[in-house]
Structures are given as C-alpha cells and as structure tokens.
Chain A
C-alpha cells in the first residue's frame, strides 16, 4: 500500500502549488481542506488498521476537512474579503520559489539517514516541501486569513513527518495536537475579526502601526 500512499502524496505536492498560485482565499481554504483529508486517509493505508488509527483518521478528516474550513469560511464571510490582492511576492515568482524549495526538499531528503524502508518513499520530501510551502505563505501573504492557511499547511507538513511514526504515537498526543490546532484557529478567527474592526482591513502589514 505504500506505493499508493506515495501517489497520494504527489497530490499533496500539487495542492501545495495550487495554494501558492491562487489568489482567491476561498480556493486556498478548500485546498487546505482537501490536503487535510488526503493526509487523514494515509495512516490507514500504510499501517495495520487499528481502532487507534481509525480514530486518528476520522478525527483528522473531520477537523481538517470540515470543521476548520467551516470556521475559516465563516471568518471570510464576516470580513468580506475574497482575494489576496497584493501579496509581498507575486504568484508566479512564489511558485518558482516553491518549486526550488520542493527540489531542494528532494535533494535534502536523499541525504538524510532514513530507515531503509522509508528511503524510496515520498514521505520525507513531501513533509519538508509542505513545511516550506507553509513558511512561504506565512512570509509572502498579507491577509490574516491567508496566513492562517499557511499555518495549517505548516501543520500538515509536520503531520506527514509524524505519519512515519503513527504507530508509535499515542492517541492522546495526536488528539492534543488537533485540539491545539482547533483552539489556534479559534483564536485567530477572533483576532481577524478584531483586526478588521480596528483597521477596517485584515492586512497584517498594517499591524506595524501597533508598534508604538
């Protein structure tokens, strides 16, 4: 099943590029949701099915695929912003940077001392590339909601790393991580609303005026 999981990870790479290249926040949220669901399915593919695994999968799909996107969509509706108009770095350049980061992730993963059964799989490069995509989004986008999607993708990258260890990972740790995430999104949702009320915009580059 590992090879099938590998092909699914290719989808994860593609979703990374989609979120980097799209200006619509709605698309970015949907892409992140799909990515979360894909990642939720993978544990049951690569390990022996157990109640613990099923719990993680169902939790992941539910929270990342439905709950968080619903929260974010609501935030989008309240602040009424559909597009990331002027990112710090344009869409074509950021995709090229993303491509370079992905290529480097492959080269770097090849050099890591991995367990032989993980050596030829895409997990490690996918994890690094997804992490990098998250960072790139956080660095390049201005709107708070886009930054939340960046944060979610970053978390997805960490999750892919964790996939290699899922069997060893206690269910409580996983559930805790999900909960953290959820609370984080809540907090950010509230902050986004506050920012938009204060500055009548959710442009995080405007936060510099809070410096004084």
Chain B
C-alpha cells in the first residue's frame, strides 16, 4: 500500500514537475535581469499550446524525423522509472540499473541527433555533431561519479546508491564528494545544454547546440522535444540533489516536500549560474568537460584511497 502510494507520487512528480523547473530558471534569470519575468507555469502553457498546434514538416524528412522526439521521450521516461526520488526507491530498482539509466539517455541522444541529420540542414548537422561530441566527453565524468557512489554506498543500484548515501560521508570525505558534485553539476549543465555550454535563448544558429538540432520540429513534435528536455533536466537534477542534499527525516511526507524544495533550489542555482556567466567559446567546451572528468577521477582517487 505504502509502496503503491509512493510509486504513484513518483510517477506524478516525474510527469508534472519538469516544466516547473524551467519556469523557476526563467524566473530567476528575470530577477537577475531586473525584469518581472514570465509566470512560473508559463512552460506548461507553452507546451500545451504547441501540442494543440499544427505541424510543418520539411520535405526532406522521413519517418525517422517524426520518431526522433518520440523515442527520446520514451527513453527518458523509461530512465525516470529507474531514478529514485524523495528518498523512496525507484519503481524499478535492480543491480546495475545505473548503467541502463545512462545508456537510455544514449538512446535518446542517438535519435535526437539522427532526427537532426534527417533534415539535411547544415545547421542541424552542426548541432548534431556538437551534441554527439560533447556528450561523449561528458560520459567518463558521469561514470567516475558512479564509481565514487558505488564505492561510498557499496551498492550497485541507483536506489541503493542515492537512498543509502550516508550523510556521514560528507564529513569523512567531504572534499572528494564536493569535487564529484562539481563534476556532476558540469555534466548536468552540459547534458542539458545550459550556459556555459549552450545558451537556450540564443537566436544565432551558429552558436547553438541543442536548439539548432530541433529547429525543424514544430507543433506537437516540438512540444515533445521540449517536454523530453525538461524531463532530462529533472532526472539529472534529481541525481545531483540526492547527493548534495542528503536529508533524511524518516517521515515520507517531509521527505517528498524536501525533495521538491531541493529541486526548486537547484533550478534557482542553475538560473543564477546562467545569469552570472557567459557562454564559453565552443573550442573551450571540450576542455571544461575533460576537466569535469578529471575532477571526478580525482574524487574517485580520494575515495578509493580512504576506504580500504
């Protein structure tokens, strides 16, 4: 009974919360810019409106172009079933699910990039190339962090790693975990194409990564793309929040509220980063990603050294 309710909350939050994060980020950026900004629920409104609109397809595209956003969304939703939220185990938790989690994002990326190449546009090809290049450089950083988590929690499942993540670990190897959190934050920003990697609001195709890949999507397809992207931000954000806010009260309701609060705080943090930093030159992006890998590798070294 208890589990069923928690699973229900998990599913509802996964389906409903992601666009709110975008709203919070935009509101934060508006605050820094001295504007009032759009209402918090604006992203929901945008997505619904797009969903109801008609579509325009490029004459060069095939079924793959339409399938791209759908497969990406499906893969992200499947990954959502593996990610524990609010100190509750995920609906599907088993040994080795963290690898499946990471590879499901890979599947999504494959189809997003393939859909971009299907338009035959040089801009979208460029965006696809950047996405494929940068995210494969982010992969080692994520896996070094998974190694650290596995080692600290002695668990091989995301639910075990994140729920049994001992808050005491922060006292014992705080510096190492801080490094790992830093690396994960960089991965979070890079995978979701936020500043300093990509500017989601830029209007120049040449400088875009994610937005330029989805230029030709319209109507319900574009709504799917936007929703899938916000869901990805939500999931990677949840991973980050579980590590940085290892708050356990034991009370289910308080834990859920704390989780939602922490996610909103994360969105504020992302908004702050976006308001205070400039986008990196593209040639510097690989360097930052390699640095993230080194940070997490170094964190791994420290953690391995500590626990014999």
**Contact assessment for A17 and B176 in the assembled complex, using a CB-CB cutoff below 8 Å:** no
Instruction: Tell me whether B78 is interfacial, beta carbon within 8 Å.
Output: no
Instruction: Tell me whether B294 is interfacial, beta carbon within 8 Å.
Output: yes
Instruction: Tell me whether B70 is interfacial, beta carbon within 8 Å.
Output: no
Which residues from B are CB-within-8-Å of A99? 294, 297-298
Instruction: Tell me whether A67 is interfacial, beta carbon within 8 Å.
Output: no
Instruction: Tell me whether B179 is interfacial, beta carbon within 8 Å.
Output: yes
Closest residue of chain A to B286 (Cβ to Cβ) is A92
**Contact assessment for A102 and B298 in the assembled complex, using a CB-CB cutoff below 8 Å:** yes
B175, B286, B291: the one within 8 Å of A10 (CB): B175
Which residues from B are CB-within-8-Å of A14? 179, 295, 298
**Contact assessment for B287 and A91 in the assembled complex, using a CB-CB cutoff below 8 Å:** yes
Closest residue of chain A to B178 (Cβ to Cβ) is A10
CA of A195 to CA of B270 in the docked complex: distance in angstroms? 46
A32 vs chain B, min Cβ distance (A): 18
Dominant SS at the A interface?
helix
Contact flag A17-B290 (CB < 8 Å), given A10-B176, A106-B301: no
Closest residue of chain A to B176 (Cβ to Cβ) is A10
**Contact assessment for A95 and B179 in the assembled complex, using a CB-CB cutoff below 8 Å:** no
Instruction: Tell me whether A178 is interfacial, beta carbon within 8 Å.
Output: no
Chain A residues 1-36 with CB under 8 Å of chain B are 6-7, 10-11, 13-14, 17, 21
B178, B291, B302, B306: the one within 8 Å of A17 (CB): B291
A92, A102, A120: the one within 8 Å of B290 (CB): A92
B297 vs chain A, min Cβ distance (A): 6
Contact flag A92-B298 (CB < 8 Å), given A14-B179, A106-B305: no
**Residues of chain A at interface, number, CB under 8 A:** 19
**Contact assessment for A95 and B290 in the assembled complex, using a CB-CB cutoff below 8 Å:** yes
Instruction: Tell me whether B37 is interfacial, beta carbon within 8 Å.
Output: no
CA of A106 to CA of B291 in the docked complex: distance in angstroms? 19
**Contact assessment for B305 and A6 in the assembled complex, using a CB-CB cutoff below 8 Å:** no
- Give 1 or 0 for each of B270-295: 1 = CB within 8 Å of chain A CB: 00000000000000001100110011
- Give 1 or 0 for each of B190-208: 1 = CB within 8 Å of chain A CB: 0000000000000000000
Instruction: Tell me whether B174 is interfacial, beta carbon within 8 Å.
Output: yes
**Contact assessment for A10 and B179 in the assembled complex, using a CB-CB cutoff below 8 Å:** yes
Contact flag A11-B175 (CB < 8 Å), given A102-B298, A106-B305: yes
Instruction: Tell me whether A96 is interfacial, beta carbon within 8 Å.
Output: yes
Closest residue of chain B to A6 (Cβ to Cβ) is B175
Chain A residues 73-96 with CB under 8 Å of chain B are 91-92, 95-96
Which residues from A are CB-within-8-Å of B174? 7
Instruction: Tell me whether A103 is interfacial, beta carbon within 8 Å.
Output: yes
Which residues from A are CB-within-8-Å of B287? 21, 91-92, 95
CA of A132 to CA of B57 in the docked complex: distance in angstroms? 57
CA of A96 to CA of B137 in the docked complex: distance in angstroms? 13
CA of A91 to CA of B291 in the docked complex: distance in angstroms? 10
Give the top 8 A-B pairs by smallest Cβ distance, nearest first: A10-B175, A7-B175, A99-B294, A92-B290, A92-B287, A91-B287, A7-B174, A106-B301
12 A-B contact pairs sorted by A residue (CB < 8 Å): A10-B176, A11-B175, A91-B287, A95-B290, A95-B294, A96-B290, A96-B294, A99-B298, A102-B301, A106-B301, A106-B305, A110-B305
